[in-house]
């Protein structure tokens, strides 16, 4: 159909050029560009991979690395500045800021780790990673907020889809790192410094806000049979890793049922850890050498994503081998992605068809996340696998719901700022629950274990705790905090029930019609509007 319009000599080339510009300047290409931007903006998700090099090459102890991690969280969540900039400038300015900040922050970290510059002081490293992580907020504002404004009546689906790509961006960056640099973890820092910049430069001038004035088909989008089949295939592919999980675990289970007499082999295949209340600890020096850069309590709590960041260390403390830890950490990533996507689409369907309030969906997600925390606080063999699925899904589901609820209750006029303001609570919770609560409880349990063994902590010696009791009390505290959030969300449900029973997008359509009338009356003073998508009229929000 399209090809027929391009035939006919010079007229065909003109038609092809016109169609190409139509595609590049259309809101669907903007959505595509936003997906690619979000897919490379998750550098903070893989901090645990390159934090090993930061700690070893710069000689940091665990407390120093915890401080660096805190500033990483602070930078990635405090993005109010990007929202304010987006209110008065076009999106390309925000995306350019993302590229500059990302390049500066992570390039300075790479130069420091590789020794190309003098060893930075701790506050300088905290500043570098805070700037690099804060660039993620600029990417979210420039891409996600723009897409929401281009698809205002499908904001739940848009936010869910884009946030799901942030959820798997860590896996995407990791695979690209293995493909390009093989196994040089220092080069991973260089990759996350230049790759987002390259993507930003490619799509810099194609991401802009298009004001939709009237499109009656917008709220009546339907999937055809081919699209349903394609979506089903994607879901099946996402679940294929579970086949490997079941296959490998069945082998290990059979070995457990028929133990081998060789004690070395038995140790290698042991998969069902003994949950001991008072484990026998190896020498302190051995613990320090085997220990990863973050203990199971270094950053565990920020409901519930602190547990996600450190499930590997939690598994170590419970006695799981490395390949099992890799399995359930992968499960978290997969279900985090599914949670982000499903919460957006599912809540949109429930709201449109059944007037089911999105705030109530958030309440159920918060309540369900407590189950995953309980499975870790009171572990049974293999319970951490189920906890990984629950925590990953719930954390992924929370983010799109929160940001959509903000947009629905406060509108899109100042959404750039409100979107980033809603994320400020995350580093606050991280500091309170991680530094004040979790670390103190963890150190207390570790000191008890040293006393039990008749050992004394040496100056500068890292504390390591083994066993489920190490983090049980802190997990109970986080469960109580989550339950408090659940009850607060129920109050929000009661206060917004009338709002969600009505047509929540009615005001949006009325504003669009008023804007269309105003622009028609001032037609001589405005830029001519382009005809897009089957006759629907669009005009840019800002002159670019």
**Tokens representing residue 299 in the block:** 């950053």
Domains and CATH numbers, the chain: 24-217+509-544 (1.20.1250.20), 250-255+264-504 (1.20.1250)
pLDDT, mean of residues 50-75:
83
So what's the pLDDT on residue 422? 77
Residue 435 has pLDDT above 70, yes or no: no
Residue 373: pLDDT band with limits 50, 70, 90: confident
For the entire predicted model, the pTM comes to: 0.66
So what's the pLDDT on residue 495? 92
Residue 227: pLDDT band with limits 50, 70, 90: low
Would you give the distance in Å from CA 419 to the centre of its chain?
A: 15
Tell me which residue of 403, 328, 391, 316 sits closest to 359, measured CA to CA: 403
What separation in angstroms does the CA of 154 have from each of 349, 397, 456? Answer: 10, 17, 60
Residues 272-312: tens digit of each pLDDT = 444 444 444 444 334 433 333 333 333 333 344 545 555 66
E strand or H helix that includes residue 59 = none
Q: What is the rounded radius of gyration, in angstroms, for the C-alpha atoms of the chain?
A: 26
Distance of alpha carbon 400 from alpha carbon 408, whole angstroms: 12
Residues 494-512: tens digit of each pLDDT = 999 888 888 777 766 665 5
What separation in angstroms does the CA of 281 have from each of 267, 285, 362, 448, 465? Answer: 16, 11, 42, 12, 9
């Amino acid at each position: 159909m399209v090809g027929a319009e391009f035939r006919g000599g010079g007229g065909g080339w003109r038609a092809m050029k016109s169609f190409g510009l139509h595609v590049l300047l259309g809101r669907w290409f903007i959505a595509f560009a936003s997906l690619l931007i979000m897919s490379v903006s998750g550098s903070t998700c893989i901090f645990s991979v390159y934090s090993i090099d930061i700690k070893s090459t710069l000689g940091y102890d665990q407390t120093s690395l915890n401080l660096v991690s805190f500033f990483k969280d602070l930078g990635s969540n405090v993005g109010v500045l990007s929202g304010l900039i987006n209110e008065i400038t076009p999106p390309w300015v925000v995306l350019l800021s993302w590229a500059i900040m990302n390049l500066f922050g992570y390039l300075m970290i790479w130069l420091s780790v590789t020794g190309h510059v003098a060893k930075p002081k701790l506050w300088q490293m905290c500043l570098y990673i805070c700037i690099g992580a804060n660039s993620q907020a600029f990417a979210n504002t420039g891409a996600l907020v723009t897409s929401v404004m281009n698809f205002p009546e499908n904001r739940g689906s848009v936010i869910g889809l884009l946030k799901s790509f942030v959820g798997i961006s860590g896996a995407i960056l990791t695979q690209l790192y293995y493909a390009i640099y093989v196994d040089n973890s220092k080069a991973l820092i260089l990759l996350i410094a230049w790759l987002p910049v390259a993507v930003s430069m490619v799509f810099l001038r194609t991401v802009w806000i298009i004001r939709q004035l009237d499109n009656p088909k917008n709220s009546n989008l339907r999937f055809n049979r081919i699209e349903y089949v394609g979506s089903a295939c994607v879901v099946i592919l996402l679940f294929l890793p579970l086949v490997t999980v079941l296959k490998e675990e069945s082998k290990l289970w059979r070995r457990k049922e028929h133990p081998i007499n060789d004690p070395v082999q038995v140790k290698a295949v042991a998969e069902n850890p003994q949950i001991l209340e008072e484990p026998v600890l190896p020498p302190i020096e051995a613990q320090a050498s085997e220990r990863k850069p973050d203990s199971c309590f270094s950053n565990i709590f920020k409901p519930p994503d602190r547990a996600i960041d450190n499930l590997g260390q939690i598994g170590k403390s419970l006695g799981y081998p490395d390949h099992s830890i890799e399995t359930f950490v992968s499960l978290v990533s997969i279900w985090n992605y599914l949670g982000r996507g499903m919460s957006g689409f599912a809540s949109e369907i429930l709201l449109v068809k059944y007037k089911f309030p999105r705030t109530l969906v958030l309440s159920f997600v918060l309540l369900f996340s407590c189950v995953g925390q309980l499975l870790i606080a009171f572990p049974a063999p293999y319970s951490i696998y189920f906890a990984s699925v629950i925590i990953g899904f719930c954390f992924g589901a929370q983010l799109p719901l929160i940001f959509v609820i903000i947009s629905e209750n406060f509108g899109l006029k100042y959404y750039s700022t409100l979107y980033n303001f809603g994320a400020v609570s995350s580093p606050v919770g991280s500091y309170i629950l991680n530094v004040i609560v979790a670390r103190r409880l963890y150190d207390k349990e570790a000191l008890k274990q040293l006393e039990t063994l008749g050992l004394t902590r040496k100056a500068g010696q890292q504390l390591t705790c083994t066993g489920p009791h190490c983090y049980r009390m802190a997990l109970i505290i986080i469960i109580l905090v989550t339950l408090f959030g659940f009850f607060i969300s129920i109050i929000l449900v009661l206060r917004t029930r009338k709002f969600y029973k009505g047509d929540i997008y009615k005001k949006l359509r009325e504003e669009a019609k008023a804007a269309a009338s105003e622009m028609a009356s001032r037609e001589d003073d405005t830029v001519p509007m382009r005809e897009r998508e089957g006759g629907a009229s669009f005009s840019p929000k800002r002159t670019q």
